[in-house]
Amino acid sequence: MSDPASSTHAKGLAITAIGGMILTIDIPLIRLAGGDLWPILMVRSGMTVLAALVMWGVWRSISSKAPPLVPGRTGLIVALLYALSGLCFIIAVYNTTTADLVFILAFNSVFAALLSWVFLKERPKPATLLAMGAMIAGVAIIVGGGIGSGNLFGNAMALATAFLLASALTVTRGSGRDMGFTALIAVAIPFVIAAFMTMRTGYRIEAPWWIILNGAVVMPIAFFCLSNGPKYISSPEVAMFYLLETVLAPVWVWMIFAEVPSQATLAGGAVLILTLIAHSLWQLRDGQRKRARGAIRHPV
């Protein structure tokens, strides 16, 4: 007898892993496009919103089961949280070091665990807490040399980014609603701000097709999967998959631009990847054990 909860959890791990992996090529595509921040953000966000509307329109035209763009008041809250996290991230990029930013964002999983524990009464399993600790240690190895050299305001914005993102995941988890399109529509706010700033600073993108690909394909798929993850698995588990970008983005940059990552990056990245693999395998094996026990109790 199959265990619906275990199969649902396995589905959630797969969906979230796909989203996390696809998100890792975001930074390389931005680098390939070559341009100023505000026009890059404007095109990337605008294409994401457009792609979301097109996908939703096609889905709605062929099926009555298409999820709403923004499911009620809860959807508005989630959209606002995603939008604010994106804005805080942009501010942090310009007001602190990359090392501080990446390390602080790793606390997304910690915030998600605490919020889920307090508001959803979902106590993280010891294996999940252990995996979170190992992954934070891996990020610390990667950025250890630069920690502490950032700006206090920028670090506060990075911390706000992690907290807001964890909050969005937790609210999604608590609602049980499909928030895939909600996360995509939320970037309309950064788009409006970026468009306003572009009018003031000017437009410069050297290879716009890369950022169009990023906004129209990569970001919609990545965030649709990641934002749907909390329907199937806990918020801390979803948050851990965001850290794949910390590991693999430098690898893609290494392959494309011949920028060799440091030994610390490779070592910390190995810790992160092995931890994610080990945790996912443990979750799947734990599900198999539960199904086996269920089969013994309820033989066919």
**For the residues 225-251, what does the mean pLDDT come to?**
84
Query: Residue 207, by phi and psi: left (phi above 0), alpha (psi -120 to 50) or beta?
Result: beta
d(Cα 216, Cα 132) in Å, to the nearest integer? 32
**pLDDT (tens digit per residue) in 139-184:** 788 767 666 666 788 888 888 998 999 999 999 999 988 888 998 9
pLDDT of residue 217: 96
DSSP secondary structure code for residue 121 in this structure: -
pLDDT at 2: 52
pLDDT tens-digit readout, 198-234: 999 999 999 999 999 999 999 999 999 999 888 888 8
Handedness of CA 20, 272, 248, 155 (dihedral sign): positive
Q: CA end-to-end span of the chain, whole Å?
A: 7
Among 233, 286, 251, 185, CA closest to 19: 233
Q: List Cβ neighbours of 167 (8 Å cut-off, separation of 6 or more).
A: 81, 111, 115
Winning range, highest mean pLDDT, from 70-79, 246-255, 267-276, 277-286: 70-79
Closest CA to 24 of 213, 216, 252, 220: 252
- pLDDT for the residue 1: 47
Q: Which phi and psi angles does 205 have, rounded to 5°?
A: -135, 120
- The pLDDT tens digits for 42-97 are 999 999 999 999 999 999 999 888 888 999 999 999 999 999 998 888 788 778 77
**The pLDDT of residue 21 is above 70:** yes
pTM above 0.85, yes or no: no
Residue 300 binned pLDDT confidence (cut-offs 50, 70, 90): very low
Looking at every residue in the chain, the average pLDDT score rounds to: 85
Residue 297 has pLDDT above 60, yes or no: no
Q: What percent of the chain has pLDDT over 70?
A: 90
**Which residue bears the tokens 């945790």?**
279
